[in-house]
A and B are shown apart, each in its own frame.
Chain A
């Protein structure tokens, strides 16, 4: 007797423990295997681009915090760099160094979250790796609190520089952090990287080829996991990345394990970057004063930085007024979801969660 199975359609989300926010996937299963997947987004659409048209240039910094709330620093950086490019504002060297230190700290925090939640989705109950990651992330958030008083939505940067200089305690904590962190990364890796079950669950799961990745505008660790050595910090050095030495880690075949592995190695490189920046940082002013309601000249500017999730770009059109005429956000999480269906079809339900976790999206940035 021939066996006949009927496809089952399941709504994963918008309320689901592993969708990193309110994300919905209409998935059709044949048994445990996925035959079709359709992402449905927009549950968190707050109209950031429209809101930006009604805010002054300085006020928009607070909107960018809420895009990808686990990496506010790089969001701020990308936005203020675009405004500086638009208005030709020079940034003092000390501010540039501090910006790099902050964005590298933020990268560590973001990658820790990505790794922790990936492990959570693999099913370590209560998430021992997740708790270890959060323990380290807390230290970074404490340091951010010293800088600007906030922990998550930071708004630390301004067009022209930073809001204030780092207090002396910050440097002490940073020194302790950078000396201890490599050990913690090794500990985390020894817990994860050689675990038989982790390897069985992540190796050769959700393979993305380099050609598809480049074609579909994939950026960030997801692109580098496919073996494409592309990092804006090296390819198009902004701020003072030119004077720092670091490697760009890449993966071998673009599977889930490689995505995790690239992130872990990027944490190591970020620590190196912070160490170099702390050694080189000069003293001096940290801000070029600009008026609160300043008016950049008429024109357009596009600029992007290497955010933890990928390339975060802003395209700002100015009509000479106090607020931008148009402010487009090129968000990495959103565009990285282009290939989601390719990765999912043919995988099983358990893989779905792992693949989605390894892409590392934050819904605030997808829906904007």
Chain B
């Protein structure tokens, strides 16, 4: 199902309609379908996250409303819609009202280009990955809009941290995408495919073996940078519940807060979708399972990993996060691009391509990944729990016997 199919369907059902009406109605149908499906996925993720966190923390989690508490998110949403929508009197009202929408729309737009079958909803966009990088860049703006317009110091603190962090992590994220595009381009050229290396369909097509096996370093960098981009633990700087109250959306309430929450829970789904397309082969999988099912399964496995990380890792400090981006991830991503380019040039220069060559590249990449991470961790990492034996201070002597 994609845009062209719907247009053809409308044309056959009601012939002789003006083409712009066909275009508009197909667009509205697709948007309606995608937005509803995505929002329901968000609600499901809320439930999944709460239940899974509860399992990890040996609690029960929401289990009252519906089977296994499945309807809890719906009750939450109804409650939040029913709440009063407060706009602080000193807030910049236009921007204050606009910020949640600016935050939500890019996340929805990401789903438009994800190839759920052999094609994506919007048809084959041949700059799909650039589109994703472009629209996800909006969240920096939205966070700052929300914080600045609400005139709250806590919010401003969150946004200041957030903007610094989000901008920093765009760099390693983009660089890890570059290496994916590079590999795709090589493979598609050799295969003689007409697909663009920047299109997500092309990236899926090129994954004879999944890219997380072919270039583990790139996958690791992308996952790390992406979890910073959506500001989840251990990078949840813009919210930092224990420090800043609620961070950038401190002043929001009612349906706007609901939109923020929805975005927060949709972001992992969107990110997982991008990761599974770029690194886990997208719709590729077992031949007996339909491609979309296997993609959805991959998405949820990655979401589960994100939840797992969130349940176990504390938050880093903002300076440590910046250090991590510039001193650790940036060198790693440069190493990744360089080694990938060299390996591709050496092994894939012939006119035909076989899987053995790809497996050799994968093996070398794993070794490079392990060695470079080990060395960089030794250089920049924490020295671990120092085994220094505590020396009792001379200021106290409990066994002192007065003469």
Which residues of A line the B interface, CB within 8 A? 8, 10, 16-18, 29, 32, 119-128, 131-132, 135, 191, 193-201, 203, 210-211, 214, 226-231, 234-235, 248, 250-252, 258, 348-353
Asked, given contacts A125-B241, A191-B312, whether A214 binds B396 with beta carbons under 8 Å apart, the answer is yes
Asked, given contacts A230-B396, A230-B398, whether A194 binds B385 with beta carbons under 8 Å apart, the answer is yes
> Contacts A10-B157, A17-B241 given; 7 further ones with Cβ under 8 A?
A123-B233, A197-B315, A200-B316, A228-B396, A230-B396, A348-B317, A353-B243
Are A210 and B57 neighbours in the complex by a CB distance under 8 Å? no
Contact residues in A for B157 (Cβ distance below 8 Å): 10, 29, 32, 349
Q: Which of A17, A32, A128, A196 is in CB contact (< 8 Å) with B57?
A: A128
Are B388 and A125 neighbours in the complex by a CB distance under 8 Å? no
| Closest chain A CB from B303 CB (angstroms) | 15
Q: Which 7 A-B pairs have the closest CB atoms?
A: A123-B315, A122-B314, A131-B57, A210-B393, A227-B393, A252-B390, A230-B396
Contact residues in B for A193 (Cβ distance below 8 Å): 385
Asked, given contacts A124-B311, A195-B313, whether A251 binds B53 with beta carbons under 8 Å apart, the answer is no
Contact residues in A for B287 (Cβ distance below 8 Å): none
Asked whether B139 is an interface residue with its Cβ less than 8 Å from the other chain, the reply is no
Asked whether B395 is an interface residue with its Cβ less than 8 Å from the other chain, the reply is yes
Are B317 and A131 neighbours in the complex by a CB distance under 8 Å? no
| Closest chain A CB from B159 CB (angstroms) | 13
Are A119 and B396 neighbours in the complex by a CB distance under 8 Å? no
A228 to B161, CA, bound (A): 38
**CB-based nearest A residue for B164:** A32
**CB-based nearest A residue for B390:** A252
Are B310 and A125 neighbours in the complex by a CB distance under 8 Å? yes
Asked whether B350 is an interface residue with its Cβ less than 8 Å from the other chain, the reply is no
Q: Scan B347-384; emit 1 where CB is below 8 A from any A CB, else 0.
A: 00000000000000000000000000000000001101
Contact residues in A for B316 (Cβ distance below 8 Å): 197, 200-201
Are A229 and B393 neighbours in the complex by a CB distance under 8 Å? yes
A127 to B248, CA, bound (A): 21
Q: Which of A121, A127, A227 is in CB contact (< 8 Å) with B390?
A: A227
Are B393 and A123 neighbours in the complex by a CB distance under 8 Å? no
Contact residues in A for B312 (Cβ distance below 8 Å): 124, 128, 191
**CB-based nearest A residue for B392:** A229
Are B395 and A214 neighbours in the complex by a CB distance under 8 Å? yes
Asked, given contacts A128-B312, A227-B393, A252-B388, whether A123 binds B58 with beta carbons under 8 Å apart, the answer is no
| Closest chain B CB from A354 CB (angstroms) | 9
Are A234 and B314 neighbours in the complex by a CB distance under 8 Å? no
**CB-based nearest B residue for A120:** B242
Interface of B: prevailing SS:
loop
Q: Scan B56-70; emit 1 where CB is below 8 A from any A CB, else 0.
A: 111100000000000
Contact residues in B for A234 (Cβ distance below 8 Å): 398
Asked whether B403 is an interface residue with its Cβ less than 8 Å from the other chain, the reply is no
| Closest chain B CB from A104 CB (angstroms) | 19
Contact residues in A for B392 (Cβ distance below 8 Å): 227-229, 250
Are A195 and B314 neighbours in the complex by a CB distance under 8 Å? yes
Asked whether B236 is an interface residue with its Cβ less than 8 Å from the other chain, the reply is yes
Are A126 and B393 neighbours in the complex by a CB distance under 8 Å? no
A191 to B56, CA, bound (A): 12
A348 to B316, CA, bound (A): 12
Pairs across A and B, CB under 8 Å, 25 listed: A8-B153, A10-B154, A17-B245, A29-B157, A122-B242, A122-B314, A124-B314, A125-B53, A126-B311, A128-B57, A128-B311, A135-B58, A193-B385, A197-B313, A199-B382, A201-B314, A203-B386, A210-B393, A226-B393, A227-B390, A229-B398, A230-B396, A234-B398, A250-B390, A353-B242
A135 to B57, CA, bound (A): 9
Are A126 and B320 neighbours in the complex by a CB distance under 8 Å? no
A254 to B197, CA, bound (A): 56
| Closest chain A CB from B195 CB (angstroms) | 40
A235 to B395, CA, bound (A): 13
Are B57 and A127 neighbours in the complex by a CB distance under 8 Å? yes
Q: Which of A124, A235, A349 is in CB contact (< 8 Å) with B243?
A: A349
A352 to B319, CA, bound (A): 14
Asked whether B240 is an interface residue with its Cβ less than 8 Å from the other chain, the reply is yes
A210 to B393, CA, bound (A): 7
Contact residues in A for B282 (Cβ distance below 8 Å): none
Are A10 and B153 neighbours in the complex by a CB distance under 8 Å? yes
| Closest chain A CB from B355 CB (angstroms) | 37
A17 to B319, CA, bound (A): 23
Asked whether B220 is an interface residue with its Cβ less than 8 Å from the other chain, the reply is no
Q: Which of B53, B245, B315 is in CB contact (< 8 Å) with A126?
A: B53
Contact residues in B for A124 (Cβ distance below 8 Å): 233, 311-315
Contact residues in B for A194 (Cβ distance below 8 Å): 384-385
Asked whether B391 is an interface residue with its Cβ less than 8 Å from the other chain, the reply is yes
Contact residues in A for B385 (Cβ distance below 8 Å): 193-194, 199
**CB-based nearest A residue for B233:** A125
Q: Scan B314-344; emit 1 where CB is below 8 A from any A CB, else 0.
A: 1111111000000000000000000000000
| Closest chain B CB from A293 CB (angstroms) | 39
| Closest chain A CB from B228 CB (angstroms) | 14
A353 to B389, CA, bound (A): 28
Are B314 and A197 neighbours in the complex by a CB distance under 8 Å? yes
| Closest chain A CB from B7 CB (angstroms) | 44
Asked whether B234 is an interface residue with its Cβ less than 8 Å from the other chain, the reply is yes
A10 to B317, CA, bound (A): 19
Are A131 and B58 neighbours in the complex by a CB distance under 8 Å? yes
**CB-based nearest B residue for A223:** B396
- Give residues of chain B (141-160) contacting chain A, Cβ–Cβ below 8 Å: 153-154, 157
